Structure 1
Amino acid sequence: MNFLRIPSAFHGVRCQSPHSFFLQCCKSIPSRIERNRFRCYHTVPEIPERKLNPLFSDRGVKVAWDEHQGLVVKSLNDRVKGTELEDHSIFNIIFQTAVLPEHAATFQFASQAYNNHFFFESLIGAEKAKEDSKTQFESNPVIQQVVLENFESKEDLLSKIKQLASNTFGAAWIWVVLDDYNRLQVIRTFQAGTPFLWTRWQSNDPHLVPSVPDHSTRPRNYSHVPLLNLCLWDHAYFTDFGLFQREQYIDTWFQSINWSLIEDRLKQSLV
């Protein structure tokens, strides 16, 4: 079971209070865990593809996935061990710790574990993509239509992503999200910020935080559903692209997206 396939778990969930809403979500998203009697510990799951050339070499995957994800998950386990959070899913931990200053580090590790898995889950290597035409953008009409409705073209979407990335200093994530009204937005979260809670985008820049919509009229009880994300942490591109080739890394990433998976996320998330 994939413990990070969030949009499918959100689909159809309707509750009067945020607390009961997130409890329902978390029940439907079991963590990838190793059980030891009654205690649960998160482990690093297998990713769909490890042959991710030209975006990642074998060494790049080892650094950006095996080593980084391993460190993040270990750090998370170390912090929740022996606490009331020990048996909770990663997604549940994110929401339980997001507004608690005393759990700031726990939130960061849980959110980063989610973000990095979501990123790697979306990727496909050039050889595999060539063999399976369904992974191409043009073969997925739903995501293609939504992109064209919100942007002039797929290239325009990439341009918006690159523009935001070029204005980003330090570790961050760029997200393509479905907003409250089924519109696509490109947003940024700094460090291990999560797109689910706009207050945890980790940004104080007023140019980046859009006006908050009228929540009484929106069709969801949560802010955004992520469809796609781009990692702007150094560990993601330094090994294969170096410190000064981030734009090349972004171009290569955009050619390494499994659009069939993005289409599935979109279909499960539309309301």
Structure 2
Amino acid sequence: MKNSPYLTPDALTTFIRTALAEDVGDGDHSSLAAIPAAARKRARLLVKGEGVLAGVELAQLIFREVDPALQIAVDLPDGSRIRPGDVAFVVEGPARSILTAERLVLNCMQRMSGIATLTARLTELLAGTKARLLDTRKTTPNFRICEKWAVVIGGGVNHRYGLFDMIMLKDNHVDYAGGIRAAIEATHAYLASTGRTLPVEIETRNLAEVQEALDTGGISRIMLDNMTPDQMREAVELVAGRYELEASGGITEETLAAVAATGVEYISVGALTHSAGTLDMSLKAF
């Protein structure tokens, strides 16, 4: 959880308790009905796909929230390369508690591992360039904390967490404000009047807007939205290292390497979270 300010104990506890309330309601009546209260059992997390493991640390927190008496022996930590047949961990303790926690653990780990696997695969395509892979806010409501955590486990970099921790002036902001300069100047006035210090990123759609952003200044990063690799290379030359550059918009696994080769510092890919699949796994009694 290092270097991820959103992964606080309070935030994780809130997520876990809300998710358990959704699933358990007034009781896990299947387990309460069928399993003796005193029964103690074991189960292992069995991997059924190939990729990058994510969610082990979260699983430990979920088991602990359900029942502090549960004990988890971790065999494979987050970030491990996994294949079918691997066992990530063994949980032991009250059988009812294992069953109550099972589905939330699996739902989180399967989704997080799918995201981490995709992130790792795309990150490998950036080898030999200075570009870093960013996620976006295209996340599942109330599950963003896990999805962004999975991106980091897979080797990616988190963009802003939400609307509150960065100012990103996108195309609609620019159009509503009356242009690049107007949007940036209004932002400076807002920050001064509120006493806030936030990084400012401006989205640009063509080289003329890049030049206007340079002429205005007072920003942290320029986004190059839906530009061709040739346009991105021109933008890199135009900016000449004065500001960070982020490529965005419709970038796929097939085009990622070409975009990275243009010299941009960051590439944001919404598919990391909105289109990643899941990695199959199960919690098996033994």
TM-score of the pair, normalised by structure 1: 0.27
TM-score of the pair, normalised by structure 2: 0.26
Instruction: Judging by fraction of residues, say which structure has more helix.
Output: 1
Instruction: Judging by fraction of residues, say which structure has more strand.
Output: 2
